Amino acid sequence: MSDFSIGLSGLNAAQKALDTIGNNIANAATEGYHRQRIEFTPAYSSQQGSTLIGGGVDVSNIRRMIDNLLEQEILRQQSASGQVSQESNTLRMIENAFGELSSEDSGLNAAIDKFFNSLQDISANPTDIIRQNQIVSDANAMAGQFRTLGELLTTVETQIRSETENTVDSINALTTQIAEFNQKIESVKMVGGNANTMSDKRDQCISDLSELIGIQTVSRENGIIDITTGGIPLVIGSSSSELESGVDANADLGISIAGASNYITDIQGGKLGGLLSLKNDVVSDIHDNLDSIAVAIIQQINQYHVQGVGSEGSFTSLTSQTNTSEDLADFTNVTTGYTYIRVTKISDGTVVRTAIPVLQDASSDTLTEIAGFITASVANVTASVNSSNQLTISADSGYEFDFLPAVLPSPETADINFNGTSDPTVSVSGIYTGSSNDTLTFTVSGTGNVGVEDSLTITVKDSDLNTIDIISIGSGYAAGDKIDIGNTGIQIALSIGDLVNGDSFSLDVLGNSDTSGLLSAVGINTFFSGISATDMAVCSDIADNPRRVATALGAEMTDNTNAVRMADIKNNALSDLDNLTCGEFYRKLITDIGQQLSVKQMRQDNIENIVLNLTNQQSETSGVDINDEAAQLLIFQQMFQAMAKYMTTINATISSIMEII
């Protein structure tokens, strides 16, 4: 009966081969399917005498045609492609948005230029209400551009966070499926079954997973594949780990095993790697750079604006912006120094200046303490702080105040040391051109009457005892005439009187009336409000009354010094902007976005070509060629027919033998 066994094994082998070929053809277009090939081995043979009798054929295996090293490389390249694709798409969207808002006529760079040009224009006529309105309009337009771009980037970051959560959910769903397939495949393999179809489905899930996150795979016995990412075990045998997204102590976005809160932020590969890179580095850097430009303009304009006044003149009351704290240590830009306040009696123009200590000791480190010092030490002015940490400064009736660095109209009495019989009066005017505060000392050489004694001169020295100028006030000087003091921008005039050799007086000159930065930090007489591009705005006091635009620094309040000083910020290289001007830094920001996109697009094109080549190699190894399968189909069809004829022949032979018997 071995003949029938041989025939039956041949028929069975041919049938299974035909089934395998049919399955290959049916799945020729199925994604993730690997061609299967049936493998035969000779069946058990027996020895009868000197003759070895075969036992037919056995089907030893139906094997998937797969190159594991090739599959690993495809997974790696798919992960790289997923990351760079996500980064490129987001960068392209940001570039398009910046491009639309950065056109030659309506972009942010144009708005910045227009604002500073308006400041330059008003310097020609500081009291022109049309130019004052234009500055406010152009400032509003520029701030609006900053807000639009800032809100765009904030929206992108929010979308990235949301998309990260969705991607993590997809990863969790895939790892759960892979773990389930691992369990089923192991169960089938352990009893000698064929798990090719489940392996294909499991491998397709792994391929889909690689597009979402960079993974490392390890093959184990019974067809199990373990998967990790960034040191996190995603799938171990039939168990999977659930991931969650969140932010670490540095506010960087990352992933962690659910409940562990140990967020890893440097995950590479896949869509998730791209999202984390965008949130933590790319978009974050763009947003930070945009904020840097906005903050630089806000701070630079405000630090000058708080010291000046507009055509509206001095103030009777000012209230700061709302602050989150009254502790001055919590204000980034407040340092140890002084804020100088001038109080003027309206009826006769008498001016008194007082230095307000800031962070000088424990009694000057909160807004309440500053307000208390003003109320106690500055005559005819009171100050208070409310529950919103707003500092309010108010002048008594008949008085007004400002923070002008303008020189006092005459030296203070305590600073004059005259020993003659009839002391002259010293008058001071002008606007100090120095950038830092100083004390000028005037020392008389010679003895005699002003405008009469030939040898009568005054030597002017700064606080470092450097001689600034030597001026003649003897014969030829007309008492009361103004005399320029070197290149300081200051003029003095002396009335008739007599002086003694060694007489002296001193004069405090201010290049900065707020060395502490208090006024701009808390928002007193500032031009802009906000601490970022997203909330940058023109202060309501300025927007409601453009005559408050502080163009003047002199006591007459009609000069353009502050307007020129603010306009010059446009051309100043700022340390906070990598020693570039505002315009240069913004153009660099736009250029960097374009360069990043170009590099990532080039990399994406290269990866796509690599993936295409790898896929072609995979198709040669694992793909189904219909023509090859058709040829194999004919072979096994003929085998089946031949084995059937063999069985018929054996049956006929046996029947003939039985008839003879």
- 547-587: pLDDT as tens digits: 999 999 999 999 999 999 999 999 999 998 999 999 899 98
d(CA 661, CA 658): 5
User: What single-letter DSSP state applies at residue 511?
Assistant: S
Q: Say if residue 383 is exposed, middle or buried (CB neighbours under 10 Å; 0-12, 13-18, 19+).
A: buried
pLDDT of residue 592: 92
How remote is the C-alpha of 161 from its chain's centroid? 14
d(CA 91, CA 94): 5
**For 591-608, b where at least 16 C-beta lie within 10 A, e where not — what string?**
eebeebbeebbebbeebe
pLDDT of residue 48: 63
d(CA 577, CA 588): 10
Q: Which 3 state secondary structure label does DSSP give 226?
A: strand
How remote is the C-alpha of 183 from its chain's centroid? 45
d(CA 83, CA 76): 11
pLDDT of residue 98: 84
d(CA 356, CA 365): 12
Q: In what order do the strands lie in the sheet with 351-358?
A: 351-358, 337-345, 399-402
Report, in this order, helix, strand and coil percent for the chain, each rounded to 5: 45, 20, 30
pLDDT of residue 66: 87
Within 10 angstroms of residue 21's Cβ, the number of other Cβ atoms is 25
CB 422 within 8 A of CB 401: no
Q: Which 3 state secondary structure label does DSSP give 76?
A: helix
Within 10 angstroms of residue 641's Cβ, the number of other Cβ atoms is 11
Q: Which 3 state secondary structure label does DSSP give 495?
A: coil
Q: What is the mean pLDDT of each run of 10 residues along the chain (661 residues)?
A: 76 87 88 87 71 76 88 91 93 85 70 94 92 95 94 94 95 95 91 87 93 92 91 92 92 91 90 94 94 96 96 95 93 93 94 95 92 96 96 96 94 92 93 92 94 91 94 91 94 94 95 95 95 95 95 93 94 92 91 92 92 88 86 88 86 82 72
pLDDT of residue 104: 56
CB 479 within 8 A of CB 495: yes
* Alpha helices in 449-572, H assignment, sequence order: 518-522, 540-544, 561-567
d(CA 616, CA 461): 85
- Which residue shows structure tokens 């001038």? 342
pLDDT of residue 305: 97
Q: Which 3 state secondary structure label does DSSP give 448?
A: strand
Residues 7-21 have pLDDT tens digits of: 888 888 889 888 888
pLDDT of residue 161: 95
pLDDT of residue 102: 55
How remote is the C-alpha of 661 from its chain's centroid? 100
State the pTM of this model: 0.86
